[in-house]
Amino acid sequence: MRAAVLHDIRDIRVTDIPAPTPTADEVIVRVKAVGVCGSDLHSYLEGGTTGPTRINPFVLGHEFSGTLTPDTARRAGLPADALMAVDPAISCGRCEWCHRGHTNLCPNVRFLGYAPNDGAMAEFVCVPKSAVHIVPDSIDPAAAAILETLGVAIHAMDLARPRLMETVAVLGCGPVGLLLVQLARLAGAGKIVAIDPVDERTALACDLGADVACRSQEEVARATDGRGADLVVEATDSSHGFEHAARSARIGGRVVIVGIPENNQYVLSGAESRRKGLSIKFSRRMPEVYPRAIALTQSGRVRLAPLATHRFSLDQAPLAFEQQVARRDGIIKAIIYP
């Protein structure tokens, strides 16, 4: 089968590799659409999300949707023609954290599309039956792939616990940030401040529910009459994201860190955060939230289509990554169609 394999930094090669062979509890997904995620970009630019890392070749891609091959669908008792969204995080189910319901914190997780586990930028991928979620006909393959991104945003908002009429600042208006804006509006935020240096992104954020657009963290004070935001949700890829989130929060405010920083480093000066008495949480992936993500999308309460701005064939995967890294042509999320 054809697959996009990461061989080295900025070195994706679309080539033939052996098709996967499922185990007894797995199904084979014929991949319909796969999104390019921020963590994919970290792998592409740095080798992983833990800073510069030596790369052993692997197949990228963890936000994806597809249909099951007829034989594995029949064996699993699932419809072969139904579109499926797939949870790429396969937790062990045995550790303390899995038993506590924190499957997103499982230290034994196998995460598809993150080294050394092959992902879905390929024609086929094997996944456990428990990882697939049937989506309704109203959700197309690209939106079904972005359900994984929505799941990340849902979990972050669960941690944030937004309160009615609060001022919420969303720092970073990439795909996750744009979904956080929509969820904050649904949660009853009084004012939503969207911060991003790319004008097209903050314009889209305002279209999706933000009240104020800021190009930088320095503008948040003006947007909040000098008070700062009650809740700041950080969704950037910058090592300065933590610092900027802390500066954007009011005294006694709350900060949720969702983004993965470049080179695995945060910059944070201690005095301001300490003196403000900030409550800080870190958000990692998501537990079981797909049913809510599907319901939010099917009902129209959350819009996913505006995020899928650019489409590529599998052979164009290197171009998709380069364009998303450069943020050219108003790109929000590249969708690859194997």
pLDDT at residue 85 is higher than 90 = yes
DSSP 122: B
Provide the CB-side half-sphere exposure for 50 (13 A, CA): 5
- For residues 37 and 325, the answer to whether their CB atoms sit within 8 Å is no
User: To the nearest whole percent, how much of the chain has pLDDT over 70?
Assistant: 100
Determine the pLDDT at residue 168: 98
pLDDT tens profile 177-234: 999 999 999 999 999 999 999 999 999 999 999 999 999 999 999 999 999 999 999 9
What is the band of 50 on the pLDDT scale with cuts at 50, 70, 90?
confident
User: To the nearest whole percent, how much of the chain has pLDDT over 90?
Assistant: 95
pLDDT at residue 75 is higher than 90 = yes
| C-alpha separations of 162 from 35, 150, 154 in Å | 28, 17, 12
Determine the pLDDT at residue 49: 87
pLDDT tens profile 253-296: 999 999 999 999 999 988 989 999 999 999 999 999 999 999 99
Residue scoring higher pLDDT (159 or 50): 159
The pTM (predicted TM-score) of the whole model is 0.96
pLDDT tens profile 10-39: 999 999 999 999 999 999 999 999 999 999
DSSP 72-90: HHHHHT--SSS-EEE--EE
> Smallest Cα–Cα separation from 147: which of 63, 60, 40?
63
Q: What is the mean pLDDT of residues 156-176?
A: 98
Mean of the per-residue pLDDT values of the chain: 96
| C-alpha separations of 32 from 35, 38, 82, 130, 329 in Å | 11, 20, 11, 19, 24
SS3 content of the chain, % helix, strand, coil (to 5): 35, 25, 40
Instruction: Say if strands 63-68 and 84-86 run parallel, antiparallel, or are unpaired.
Output: antiparallel
Residues contacting residue 25 through CB under 8 Å, at least 6 positions apart? 128, 129, 130
Q: What is the mean pLDDT of residues 135-151?
A: 97
Determine the pLDDT at residue 51: 81
- Give burial (CB, 10 Å; 0-12/13-18/19+) of 21: exposed
